[in-house]
Amino acid sequence: MNALTKTNFHFDGQTKVYHGKVRDVYTVKNDLLVMVATDRISAFDVVLPKGIPYKGQMLNQIAAKFLDATADIVPNWKLATPDPMVTVGLHCDSFPVEMIVRGYLCGSAWRAYKSGVREICGVKIPDGMRENQKFEAPIITPTTKAELGLHDEDISHEEILAQGLVSKEDYELLERYTLALFERGSKIAKERGLILADTKYEFGKRNDKIYLIDEIHTPDSSRYFYAEGYQERFEKGEAQKQLSKEFVREWLMANGFQGKEGQQVPEMTAEIVTGISERYIELYENIVGEKFVKEDVTNIAGRIEKNVSEFLKSV
């Protein structure tokens, strides 16, 4: 199966290109962004050597649906999705922090808690909590936005303001937006028989107005549990059935890789790649509540170039 792992487009009016861990972002006329969701996959801030067929299409379509479903809460950057793997939207100056919101103690927060940490990003966490336990109220644990190849760093509300990364007025609004988006995402998840355990949001500014940017509520940026059986598994201390890319991290850890210096990414056989693709399709269908329709992948780059070029002529 074909997978798009590299792009090298030259759109009319293109002024800049940024190749991220998963998305490649083309700036057009310094005003629009053409964001291509590739089939690359990253874990522990490392881009893995093989792409996952249809992953980019799934992520882009999930994000587009949730951007539309939350546009009444906060304005967002999206204008159109001219290709299943592409969103075109407004260029915004992004804030240098990511807003991570957690409804449950799991993932990296649980790993830190288990090692004795009782404060994350300035938020105190009580003793006696267990893995996957629900917090009394969602907590916000921001991180800095790292350059490619570097790790995002936890940072507190107080440090963000002290370092002048975000103004006090803007940060308070980011927190309000974050909690409102998480509440909406949790409500939609519940309707699908899911629990939104944690997620991240990114914001930017354009003409002094804050916009929600990038992806939202995808399995790359969020962790979902199945609601059915959650309580029983929690009471027994069993692992939750998850809808996130945590299964990829667990496979890597089981094979001796956590992104640390000197560690090698385990071999990604065709069987492993196909298995990850199938899991992503499962994620899509459960999160969106619709059957996933595979696009023609004969010439992905050619299809994208044609679709985006035609759209840009119309704007």
Which two tokens mark 210? 């804050």
Question: Within 13 Å and on the Cβ side, how many CA atoms surround 138?
Answer: 24
Provide the angle, in degrees to the nearest 10, between the axes of the packed helices 55-69 and 270-288. Answer: 20
pTM of model > 0.75? yes
In a domain, 275, yes or no: yes
pLDDT computed for residue 45 by the predictor? 83
- Number of domains the chain is built from: 1
Stretches in the chain below the pLDDT threshold 70: 146-151
In a domain, 139, yes or no: no
In a domain, 234, yes or no: yes
In a domain, 45, yes or no: yes
At position 81, the amino acid (one-letter code) is: T
CATH value at residue 238: 3.30.200.20
pLDDT computed for residue 278 by the predictor? 92
In a domain, 246, yes or no: yes
pLDDT in tens, 37-95: 999 999 888 999 999 999 999 999 999 999 999 999 999 999 999 999 999 999 999 99
Residues 6 or more apart in contact with residue 148 via CB below 8 angstroms: 19, 20, 21
Q: Which of 180, 182, 214, 184 is nearest to 95 (CA)?
A: 214
Which two tokens mark 171? 């940060």
Question: Tokens 């399995």 identify what position?
Answer: 219
In a domain, 127, yes or no: no
**One-letter-per-residue 3-state SS of 77-117:** CEEEEEECCEEEEECCEECCEEEEEEEECCHHHHHHHHCCC
pLDDT computed for residue 152 by the predictor? 77
pLDDT computed for residue 147 by the predictor? 61
In this structure, how many other beta carbons lie within 10 angstroms of the beta carbon of residue 307?
16
In a domain, 297, yes or no: yes
Structural domain span for residue 297: 1-94+160-315
